[in-house]
Amino acid sequence: MEKNWYSSPLSLRDIQITDAFWKGEMELVRREVLPYQWAALNDEVEGAAPSFCMRNFKVAGKLNQEKREKGDAFVEPAYTFRGFEALPEDPEHLEDKFYGFVFQDSDFSKWIEAVGYSLTQHPDEELERIADGAIDLVCAAQQEDGYLDTYYIINGRDKTFSNLRDHHELYCFGHLTEGAVAYYQATGKDKLLNAVRRFADYIGNYFGSEEGKCKGYPGHEIAEMALVRLYEVTKEERYLTLARFFVDERGKRPYYFDSEQHPDMQRRGQKEELRYQYNQAHLPVREQDEAVGHAVRAVYLYSGMADVARLTGDEALYGACEKLWNSIVNEKMYVTGGIGGTHIGEAFSFPYDLPNDTAYAETCASIGLVFFARRMLEIRPDARYANVMERALYNGVLSGMALDGKSFFYVNPLEVNPEACRRDERKFHVKPVRQKWFGCACCPPNLARLLSSIGSYAYTESEDTLFVHLYMGGILSKKVQGQDVDVCVESGFPWDGNVKIKVRAQNTSFRLALRLPDWCSGYEASGLEDAQTEERDGYLYVKKEWQEEDCIELSFPMEVKLIAANPRVREDVGKVAVTRGPIVYCLEEADNGKDLHMLSLGAGSKPTVVEEKICGIPAKTIEMPGYRREAKEMAGLYHTWRADHKKVVGLRFIPYYMWANRSENEMQVWTRME
Amino acid sequence: MEKNWYSSPLSLRDIQITDAFWKGEMELVRREVLPYQWAALNDEVEGAAPSFCMRNFKVAGKLNQEKREKGDAFVEPAYTFRGFEALPEDPEHLEDKFYGFVFQDSDFSKWIEAVGYSLTQHPDEELERIADGAIDLVCAAQQEDGYLDTYYIINGRDKTFSNLRDHHELYCFGHLTEGAVAYYQATGKDKLLNAVRRFADYIGNYFGSEEGKCKGYPGHEIAEMALVRLYEVTKEERYLTLARFFVDERGKRPYYFDSEQHPDMQRRGQKEELRYQYNQAHLPVREQDEAVGHAVRAVYLYSGMADVARLTGDEALYGACEKLWNSIVNEKMYVTGGIGGTHIGEAFSFPYDLPNDTAYAETCASIGLVFFARRMLEIRPDARYANVMERALYNGVLSGMALDGKSFFYVNPLEVNPEACRRDERKFHVKPVRQKWFGCACCPPNLARLLSSIGSYAYTESEDTLFVHLYMGGILSKKVQGQDVDVCVESGFPWDGNVKIKVRAQNTSFRLALRLPDWCSGYEASGLEDAQTEERDGYLYVKKEWQEEDCIELSFPMEVKLIAANPRVREDVGKVAVTRGPIVYCLEEADNGKDLHMLSLGAGSKPTVVEEKICGIPAKTIEMPGYRREAKEMAGLYHTWRADHKKVVGLRFIPYYMWANRSENEMQVWTRME
């Protein structure tokens, strides 16, 4: 690994995102999601299932009015492995017990992380005050020894770390750490960070390679990358060591999870080969070469692996990351950047199995793919990673949130027939309309933290290079050779491909690396006259002594393209997806009538790009002539085939991420070619 | 209903099937299936899961060596609603308990029924002796009061009829009745028939419309049509009354099944509307107009409804049968005559939801559709019913059995990718190769009883008409106006459409009604010179005074046809199925290589019909030029669409029912049209 390539994200305090497109998304998060989420954490959302999150912290910290009952038997939460919601019988009469999912603490953590990012882009004293109060409450629950997970504090510390596979204890720790680091980096306040360090030290005393320490690792990964962040902010080597331990230990035989008492495994006699694929713990991570199991867990693990590989210069680990990356993007990724072909285990299916109507493609999994992509970019700036990051962001991630920021998809299918969602149990996981909030609140807060920190995905820097991976408007301030440099980016993305990069510097020499998107074959550039330029791995490297008013202009042609899938993808054979620039388009019933599968495109169809608004949001739609099967074929089930039963119709494609904002209806990404 | 149309099957003793095609299938049953089945009933098949069927009868009849333990608590069988196999921990040390599925008795019943039919076509003293011995054993288990179900005899009579929804008690009674009637009709021996009458009387004393009697009905239907058969052979009105009671009572509110203690329903609070759709008990049967729930149960019920409607002249009930028939054939039937679009509940899915690769299309369901079709034909001779019967028989039924009669499909998908069957949990129910035998042995014995009695589906008779619904070679002997008439049919079906019907009579006047198949638009006929003829409802009626050597020749052109599905069927849009006469064809990997979904047909392709053998069995295959997507598209997941990436290849189609006889491989019925 060429270490001189390594880059890292800029501090969000040094980036101000001004982009019309992304600023709009960030504002939705700030104005809609964060307040809603805070209310949800406090069980104050009318009609919504209570979260119990902050309540659990109060109970754990004995901050609630009533005295906690003593000597309770260990209470299993009303929680099952597949993730059902926990509700007390009578919400009016809650006892001093833990309620909700076993991972309920993480709701707070995701919220505080998003709040931290948001404060860097939009200071807000009132929000910061609320956040500080919440942190006080959380810290009050921390135990003398540093332990801080309300589920076990309330239910009995003797069971601590007894069910790593299912009980998300290290997952909660990971999220808490990410939240604490983000809040510290945003505000400089270290109360939560210090609490997390104590918790991390507690964990580090319990787990590790040293004799006598527990050889377990998280059932749901995230602690790996969280510990790396903690290391990067504290410079304490032991956190990196612990992260590496979790990565290294994973999947070794005999399986650690076998040493836990899992009734389901006992029923199955623990005989199944590679039985922890769901948790990516079936093989040592360096031997894994196919992305398998729960998709969110997978990409969280791979992100942590990439982090550890970068910081330890571990070639073998990086090699595994590369193989797993290729497994995803060459065999297991939807054209939208969605991942997870099956709802069974919310998991990757086998290679090329990418069904459109039963897709899982969880919002969180696409978010995790973005995490993984940026970490691969940090190791090696190759546009392969950034192209996928962009694909996921503009499509499979953004589709998770309604245009008004008030409802959310967990599952992002590429084809929806609402009748099937209601009547076919195999599609019950697919919702034809976004939902208000979820009992298991992972996707909305995950969106909140990603969108609020979007700038850290657009830009990374190495010693001598500023990388622009995504084109979004913003102002970056950086120190180069002790001098202040401002870089101001203006972009029409994703609706047009024009980008202006203005640099304000004083004869400062450094490189800009500008990504050349894979969706256009050429580009135009100006302002490069007195620069050294080089194209490599999908980036245009521009080196010069930058002056006061330097400006580079780039223009990436955004043509409408018909995309075909590898013919091994059975579901897409003979079909095309319509794209323009980074945006994947879809047909929706609202524009094209019912029975979208009866529509098709011809080879010579000329597209027209239309500038308009959808639900008040500016967008570009695509109109194209196509065909519709005619109704005279409708009687009976089977008849002799005839070629001529179709009529010419106008088709209207809208951006995929904007679907399901105009009431429940059919949607389809892949359309048949005649 | 015009009662003068009513017809009924000829006695199998008056039909000798000589047809090359069907005789071959019947011989497979006689030589392979019946002996194997008998061994299975007696747990004598090496390597196969024991059935315990005959053993349970012995335990119930106290014919086993050991003395049955007394005072046992009621033992729930290791049986779950979805049908898992029950096995004792240590097969070497069986106790005097009931083992196996709760419906294990029915294995014997299906066997004895098939034996009865087989004896009419092929007398076999040894087989009859074994059958008589088995009947002795079964009858020995009958209780003083007539009760005869080993599960409750062994486990405790106090629980009798306590779980009609799940425990298949009346289902076992139904099968026993069908077996007894068949054996009596074949051999004239009435020992089992008399036992069944006593059991039926016991049931009739327990259930009924009279005050004080139980208002329950079968969870798994079949007793309805079985009781009608018992009525028809005994002429005892009370059996028809009981059949009608079961039909009438079904689906009334409050639901009878709610009065039973079902833990799953209690969990769900019994609140779900129309909650017994699975059992077709969600609405009174006369109000049902959509085929729903478990497909086998459904067509068994509809068959019983048709029987009762015919015998009681019940117009409303017949109307419901018509609606349910139309619901199946216009919205819910595969082109193979398979029914059951989802494995969840082995059930009908919603209208037009006919996925090919996750189909259930259970062999037994297609068999049940044949039952239903013949009963509709008995009420009204309309080729609509016979066309579907023929479609199911030659395709979705026969596909259930290997060409050597030694292995069987439960599930008959229309598209199979073996990798998906192994790696995708959503397709675990789909097997790429036929299985030896099943713990839940419904399909093989059901095939045995249908194929052994195939003549009763080909021919029915009314007062003045002999109906020929299916063309298969055979000799029929009937009395018309006191005179002996022989009808000899010769047919090249399903490989050619030539039929000869020779009548040997002495100036006897009656009508022949000859079905005009829907898969050809015209036909040629000779020998009709001095006859009155009329075409009506898909039959050619031929009336004349038949002489010693009359012969009618019919020729139905069998052209290769490309069939399209109603475009509402999402899975089939843009695709065709290849058919010829009654046979549906498929592509198999053995002939066409891997990745069958990459193959396609062009509009002008000319088919060639080839006469050959598959696994030694004569057949006609179809060769046609087509296309295959080229391999250069194989790198990466997505690329810009291009029209030209296909090459011309020769495609070979074989009869669908013959697939999976040449080792595990891909198969596909619906092929894309370019």
DSSP sequence for B201-254: HHHHHHBSSSTTSB----SS--HHHHHHHHHHHH--HHHHHHHHHHHHHTTPSS
Give the number of other CB atoms < 10 A from CB of residue B213.
Answer: 13
What pLDDT, on the 0 to 100 scale, is given for residue B70?
A: 36
Q: Which of A390, A638, A649 would you mutate first to test chain B, the one with the most B CBs within 10 A? A: A638
Look at residue B184 and give its three-state secondary structure: helix
In chain A, whose CA is at the least distance from the CA of B561? A640
Q: Which residues contact A520 (CB under 8 A, 6 or more apart)?
A: A497, A556, A557, A558, A559, A581
**Neighbour count for residue B74 (Cβ, 10 Å):** 10
Is pLDDT larger for residue B545 or for residue B442? B545
Residue B602 pLDDT > 70: yes
Asked if the model's pLDDT at residue B565 lies above 70, the reply is yes
Residue A79: predicted pLDDT: 34
* Cis, peptide link before residue B607, omega less than 30° from 0: no
CA distances (Å), origin B597, targets A667, B341, B564, B670? 23, 20, 17, 9
CA distance linking residue B133 with residue B568, whole number of Å: 54
Task: List, as ranges, residues 626-655 from A with C-beta within 8 Å of B.
Answer: 629, 633-643
CA of B564: which chain A residue's CA is closest? A641
C-alpha span between A671 and A323 (Å, rounded): 31
Per-residue b/e over A554-569, b at no fewer than 16 CB within 10 Å?
bbbebebbbbbbbbbb
What number is the average pLDDT over the span B496-502? 97
Confidence (pLDDT) at A604: 84
The reported pLDDT for the residue numbered B133 is 96
DSSP conformation letters of B590-607: HHH-S-GGGEEE-TTPPP
Chain B CB contacts of A423 below 8 Å:
349-350, 353
Query: Alpha-carbon distance A17 to A454, whole Å?
Result: 8
List chain A residues with CB under 8 Å of B349.
423-424
Distance CA B650, CA A220 (A): 50
Residues A416/A417/A423/A426 CA torsion (nearest 10 deg) = -30
> What is the pLDDT, as a whole number, of residue A100?
86
Contact state of B638 with A566 under an 8 Å Cβ cutoff: yes
- pLDDT at residue B440 in the model: 59
Is the pLDDT reported for residue B658 higher than 70?
Answer: yes
- A268 pLDDT band, cuts 50/70/90, is low
Of B424, B569, B634, the CB nearest to A350: B424
User: A213 or A632: whose pLDDT is higher?
Assistant: A213
| Residue type, position B73, single letter | A
pLDDT score at B75: 39
Q: Is the pLDDT of residue A1 over 70?
A: no
On the question of pLDDT at A92 being above 60, the answer is: no
Tokens of B119: 């004896």
Model confidence at B633, pLDDT cuts 50, 70, 90, reads low
- Would the pLDDT of B88 be above 70? no
What pLDDT does B499 receive?
Answer: 98
Judged by CB atoms closer than 8 Å, whether chains meet at A565 and B637 is answered as yes
Report CB contact under 8 Å: B330, A637: yes
Chain segment A484-512, per-residue pLDDT in tens: 999 999 999 999 999 999 999 999 999 99
Q: What pLDDT shows up at residue A69?
A: 41
- pLDDT the model gives residue B271: 67
d(CA A206, CA A160): 11
pLDDT of residue B65: 47
Q: Quick check: B609 contacting A, CB < 8 Å?
A: no
**Alpha-helical runs (H) found in A10-157:** 20-28, 34-41, 53-60, 105-121, 125-140, 150-155
Whether B89 shows a pLDDT value over 80: the answer reads no
Best residue in A391, A395, A641, A670 for a mutation probing chain B (most B CBs within 10 Å): A641
Is the bond preceding residue B494 a cis peptide, omega within 30 degrees?
yes
Is the separation of the CB atoms in A305 and A320 below 8 Å?
A: yes
Whole-number pLDDT of residue A237? 97
- Spatial distance between the Cα atoms of A423 and A432, rounded to a whole number of angstroms: 12
pLDDT for B74 beyond 50: no
- Distance, in Å, from the CA atom of A337 to the CA atom of A373, rounded to the nearest integer, reads 11
A189 Cβ contact list (under 8 Å, min separation 6): A132, A135, A183
A127-152 pLDDT, tens digit per residue, is 999 999 999 999 999 999 999 999 99
Percent of chain B with pLDDT over 70: 92
* Residue from A401, A324, A470, A388 nearest A15 by CA: A470
Residues of B in contact with A637 (CB under 8 A): 329-331, 333, 335, 565-566, 569
- The answer to whether B387 touches B522, Cβ cutoff 8 Å, is no
Closest CA to B221 of B282, B260, B177, B172: B172
In this structure, are strands B550-555 and A583-588 parallel, antiparallel, or unpaired? unpaired
pLDDT band at B49 (very low <50, low <70, confident <90, very high): confident
- For the ranges A245-249, B622-626, B645-649, B670-674, the lowest mean pLDDT is seen at B645-649
Q: Is B104 on the interface with A (CB under 8 A)?
A: no
Please indicate whether residue B364 is annotated as part of the active site.
Answer: no
Residue A425 has pLDDT above 90, yes or no: no
Percent of chain B with pLDDT over 90: 80
Whether residue B598 contacts residue B628, with contact meaning beta carbons closer than 8 Å, is answered with yes
Higher pLDDT, A470 or A264: A470
Cα B544 from Cα B528, distance rounded (Å): 9
Q: Which of A182-191, A661-670, B154-163 is predicted least confidently?
A: B154-163
Q: Cβ of A295: how many Cβ atoms within 10 Å?
A: 29
Q: How far apart are CA A402 and CA A661, in angstroms?
A: 6
A598 reaches B (C-beta below 8 A)? yes
How many A/B residue pairs have CB atoms within 8 Å? Answer: 138
- Asked if A595's CB is within 8 angstroms of B567's CB, the reply is yes
Q: How confident is the model at residue A532 (pLDDT cuts 50, 70, 90)?
A: very high
Interchain proximity A566–B673, CB inside 8 Å = no
Residue A76 has pLDDT above 50, yes or no: no
Range with the lowest mean pLDDT among B43-57, B249-263, B344-358? Answer: B43-57
Catalytic residue among B32, B128, B346, B461: B346
| Residues 6+ positions from A8 with CB-CB distance below 8 Å | A378, A460, A461, A462
Task: Give the A window 245-274 contacts with B, CB below 8 Å.
Answer: none
Nearest to B637 among A330, A420, A636 (CB): A330
| Tokens describing residue A342 | 């099956």
**B601 — contact with chain A (CB < 8 Å)?**
no
Q: What is the mean pLDDT of residues B560-577?
A: 95
B442 in catalytic set: yes
Please indicate if any CB of chain A lies within 8 Å of the CB of B361.
no
For the segment A2-51, what is each residue's pLDDT rounded down to a tens digit?
A: 776 799 999 999 999 999 999 999 999 999 999 998 998 998 887 777 88
Q: Between chains, do B566 and A637 touch, taking CB under 8 Å as contact? A: yes
Q: Are B87 and B78 contacting, i.e. CB atoms less than 8 angstroms apart?
A: yes
- How high is the pLDDT of residue B617? 95
Which pLDDT value is given to residue A645? Answer: 80
pLDDT at B76 over 80: no
Segment A339-352 mean pLDDT: 94
Q: Closest approach of chain A CAs to the CA of B304, in angstroms? A: 25
Q: Torsion angle of alpha carbons A526, A531, A537, A538, nearest 10°? A: -10
Contact across the interface for A637 and B425, Cβ inside 8 Å: no
In this predicted structure, what is the pLDDT of residue B194?
Answer: 98
Distance CA(A309)–CA(B432), nearest Å, equals 42
Task: Tell me the average pLDDT across B211-231.
Answer: 98
- Closest Cα of chain B to A637: distance in Å? 5
Is B28:B405 a contact under the CB 8 Å cutoff?
A: yes
Structure tokens at B530: 């001095």
Could you tell me the pTM of the whole model? 0.91
A348 and A329 Cβ atoms separated by less than 8 Å:
no
Q: What's the rounded Cα separation, in Å, for the pair A253 and A243? A: 19
Is the pLDDT confidence value at A78 over 70? no
pLDDT at B272: 78
Mean pLDDT over the full length of chain B:
91
Q: What pLDDT digit, counting tens, does each position of A572-605 carry?
A: 999 999 999 999 999 999 999 999 999 999 988 8
Token pair in block for residue B438: 């099943």
Mean pLDDT, residues B297-306 taken together: 98
pLDDT at B302 (0 to 100): 98
Enter the DSSP assignment of A48: S
pLDDT of A553 above 90: yes
Contact residues, chain A, for B423 at CB < 8 Å: 349-350, 353
